[in-house]
Amino acid sequence: MRITFLGGGNMAAALIGGLIERGFAPDALQAIDLNPETRTKLAGRFGIRAIDSFDAQALECEVLVLAVKPQSMRDALAPIAGRLDSQLVLSIAAGIRMEALARWLGGYRRIVRAMPNTPALVGAGAAGLIADTAVTDADRDTATRILGAVGSVAWLSDEAQIDAVTALSGSGPAYVFYFIEALIDGGVAIGLPRETARALAIDTVLGAAKLAAASEDDAATLRARVTSKGGTTEAALRSMAQADFKTLIARALAAADARGRELGDELGRN
């Protein structure tokens, strides 16, 4: 299977690296990017073909991964509008709906839209995917194989759910980083050296996530198990409840979801 990446940024590089680690031959992968430094880096790091614009070889692929910035997508697709015939188009560009992509591609509808997240850079990503009705079961398997090279994959039943995925897992790493930041600052405030607080905060979040992933119990049950009546954890959780912590998180996700819908309207307007 030959795959062409339109855009060679961090997420494209993560996917390329993940695919090669899982046995894809470098000569089956190629990338298109306007930045010469990016092309040089991709070619040197992965041994793939890296070019500055579409040519016949770039279009001789089974999968075209759209990885350019959303604001640049329409112009980036203009040279190939009406020129695709059997390629699966896999978009990892945030906010751009399949209808807009199909329009910019001259009515081409064999499209899968995906929302990965930045932990894909270390092979621990999470992605939500939605397929157009023109996409086959084999296409779905291909998309799963590509995104699965850098993490977990969840298929959605409605494109509107992509905005919710963006709010939860797409933006989610920033929420976790913010929580880690708060743990570090809080640890320093109660007397820990910053380096110690940082190490403990990161390892605690990492360990708790691994425990949740390995357990058949839900998060509420796991939380209850480490919350002794009258103990320190109970005191901390009571303080969070008084601050309406869960509602705060829910409001944050709702705000991100709403902004995702707005961006979809804005980016696909023309």
245 shares a domain with 154? no
264 vs 190, higher pLDDT: 190
Residue 266, domain member (yes or no): no
Residue 177, domain member (yes or no): yes
How high is the mean pLDDT of the chain? 95
User: Where does a domain end: 165, 190, 214?
Assistant: 165
Backbone φ and ψ for 252, nearest 5 degrees, come out as -65, -45
23 shares a domain with 140? yes
d(CA 136, CA 141): 9
Residue 267, domain member (yes or no): no
112 shares a domain with 88? yes
Give the per-residue pLDDT at 196.
98
Give the per-residue pLDDT at 268.
81
pLDDT digits (tens, 9 = 90+) for 60-98: 999 999 999 999 999 999 999 999 999 999 999 989 999
68 shares a domain with 131? yes
Give the per-residue pLDDT at 34.
95
Please report, rounded to a whole number, the percentage of residues in the chain having pLDDT higher than 70.
Answer: 100
Average pLDDT, integer, range 207-218: 96
183 shares a domain with 149? no
Residue 268, domain member (yes or no): no
pLDDT digits (tens, 9 = 90+) for 138-194: 999 999 999 999 999 999 999 999 999 999 999 999 999 999 999 999 999 999 999
Residue 253 C-alpha from the chain's centroid: 16
Residue 216, domain member (yes or no): yes
Instruction: Fill in the DSSP letter of residue 82.
Output: T
110 shares a domain with 45? yes
Give the per-residue pLDDT at 267.
87
181 shares a domain with 107? no
Residue 269, domain member (yes or no): no
User: Where does a domain end: 124, 142, 165?
Assistant: 165
Q: How far is CA 150 from CA 13, 121, 232, in A?
A: 11, 7, 38
219 shares a domain with 125? no
Average pLDDT, integer, range 251-265: 93
- CATH number, domain with residue 151: 3.40.50.720
Domains identified in the chain, total number: 2
Give the per-residue pLDDT at 212.
96
Residue 113's pLDDT band (boundaries 50, 70, 90)? Answer: very high
130 shares a domain with 16? yes
d(CA 127, CA 230): 40
- CATH number, domain with residue 215: 1.10.3730.10
Give the per-residue pLDDT at 157.
93
Residue 269's pLDDT band (boundaries 50, 70, 90)? Answer: confident
Q: Which domain holds residue 224?
A: 172-261
Is a pLDDT exceeding 80 seen at residue 270? Answer: no
184 shares a domain with 146? no
130 shares a domain with 109? yes
Three-class SS state of 49:
strand
Which pTM was predicted?
0.90
Give the per-residue pLDDT at 112.
98
Residue 270, domain member (yes or no): no
Those residues with Cβ within 8 angstroms of residue 29's Cβ, 6 or more apart along the chain or in another chain: 2, 3, 4, 5, 16, 19, 20, 46, 48, 49
Other Cβ atoms closer than 10 A to 143: 25
218 shares a domain with 155? no
